[in-house]
Amino acid sequence: MKKSLLAFAILSAFAATASAQSSVTIYGSIDAGLRRQTNVDAAGNSKISMGSNGTYNSNRLGFKGIEDLGSGMNAHFVLESGFNTATGSYDSPTVAFNRSAFVGVTGDFGNLDLGRQYSLAFKTIGTYEPFNYKFPAITSPVAGVALFFPATFSGGGATRFNNDAQYTAVFGGLRASLEYALGEVAGDNTRNTVKAVALTYTTSPFNVGGTYMSTDIGGFKDKYWTLGGAYSANGLRISAGYVKETLETVAHVDFEQKSYWGGVSYVVTPQIELTGAYYVTDSKAFTNPAAIINGKRKNLVIAGTYALSKRTNFYVEADNKKLTNAFVGTTQLLGPINNGTQNGFSFGITHLF
């Protein structure tokens, strides 16, 4: 009997150790809200709608796991899918994990991740984006989304890349990263590829960062770089950033997009936070001054959140867009704008789990 109890105790200890060495977490967010926006058609009508994949937070359901490999090493993975609150459907009916699907290892050598993942440009901008990527459909025309990247290449602009490899090393407050996304084109190992390098440095209360990215997409030569920083102290956060992207087409028509922004957020009380930001995007075609791409977009966004708990927030937001030339009459992320000015107002609730 004593031997049986001893054996059971030993097996239990091994089981406890094994379970402590690996874990899988189910997580996500669900966001639902209402939005009213003006000038959504040629007649200048307004529209009231419910945010499809989240207004404040992008809706997601994810699985992440980590396994302790010993000697300071671990293996990890992330599988994450987006969904629509209003209809219950997936963001992408043909891609199971459209938001992330990667596996990697971490050790004294650094971190290596392989698969579909957020680009280095997106990650870098996130360190100085005023809303920390909240209200993504309202602010994201500047936040990490390269205008000229075909959506079919990355599945959503320059926010994420398929077939992507990223290596990161950390030296105190300095974080250095390299990125290479495979094009997988037979006979041409450079076609449809992405190369990027990123540096960020954090020393309280400041952080600065920058990324350079280049790609060849079907003969289109694209170069993209961003630089910015933020100051955070005593509930106050001030941030600013800049993005410049140039594109040379097969026909040698040169395009350029420049975006810059600044914002301030302040934690008024443990429950209340206020944020305001101003974004400007300027696009032009150098070889054709009358080209359809020429235009400017200015976007003012003011928002507040009230924490009902650690995981549930109520939010309210107001924004004003001013557009010139080619941007007027085009379809933005939130629908068509057929006037030089569009006003929006949103409110809703978001929950993390």
Cis peptide before 270 (omega within 30 of 0): no
Inside any domain, residue 27: no
Inside any domain, residue 189: yes
Q: Dihedral of CA 149/39/48/317: which sign? A: positive
Lowest mean pLDDT segment, chosen from 9-18, 97-106, 267-276, 333-342 = 9-18
The two three-digit tokens of residue 251, written as one number: 């026909």
User: Which residues, in sequence order, are bridge partners of residue 36?
Assistant: 48, 345
Lowest mean pLDDT segment, chosen from 72-81, 244-253, 292-301 = 244-253
243-256 pLDDT, tens digit per residue, is: 998 877 766 667 78
Inside any domain, residue 3: no
Residue among 31, 72, 26 nearest 52 (CA): 31
Residue among 43, 135, 125 nearest 333 (CA): 135
**What amino acid is encoded at 254 in this protein?**
D
The two three-digit tokens of residue 136, written as one number: 């993504």
CATH number at residue 240: 2.40.160.10
Inside any domain, residue 8: no
**Vertex 259 angle, CA 344 and 133, to 5°:** 55
Confidence of residue 8 (pLDDT cuts 50, 70, 90): very low
Alpha-helical segments (H) within the chain: 2-21, 120-126, 136-139, 151-154
Inside any domain, residue 148: yes
Inside any domain, residue 7: no
Confidence of residue 14 (pLDDT cuts 50, 70, 90): very low
* Residue 12: pLDDT over 70: no
117-172 pLDDT, tens digit per residue, is: 999 999 999 999 999 999 988 886 554 444 444 443 443 457 899 999 999 999 99
Give the predicted TM-score (pTM) of the model. Answer: 0.86
Look-up of token digits 């952080």:
207
Return the C-alpha torsion angle 294, 319, 81, 83, nearest 10: -110
Residue 135's domain spans which residues?
Answer: 33-352
211-235 pLDDT, tens digit per residue, is: 999 988 777 788 889 999 999 999 9
**DSSP 8-state symbol, 129:** -
3-state class (DSSP) for residue 72: coil
Predicted confidence at residue 187, as pLDDT, reads 81
Q: How many domains does the chain have?
A: 1
Q: Rounded CA gap, 137 and 131, in Å?
A: 12
Inside any domain, residue 24: no
What distances in angstroms separate CA 86 from CA 26, 55, 93, 173, 192, one per listed residue?
22, 11, 15, 42, 35
3-state class (DSSP) for residue 298: strand
Inside any domain, residue 87: yes
* Residue 313: pLDDT over 80: yes
* Residue 294: pLDDT over 80: no
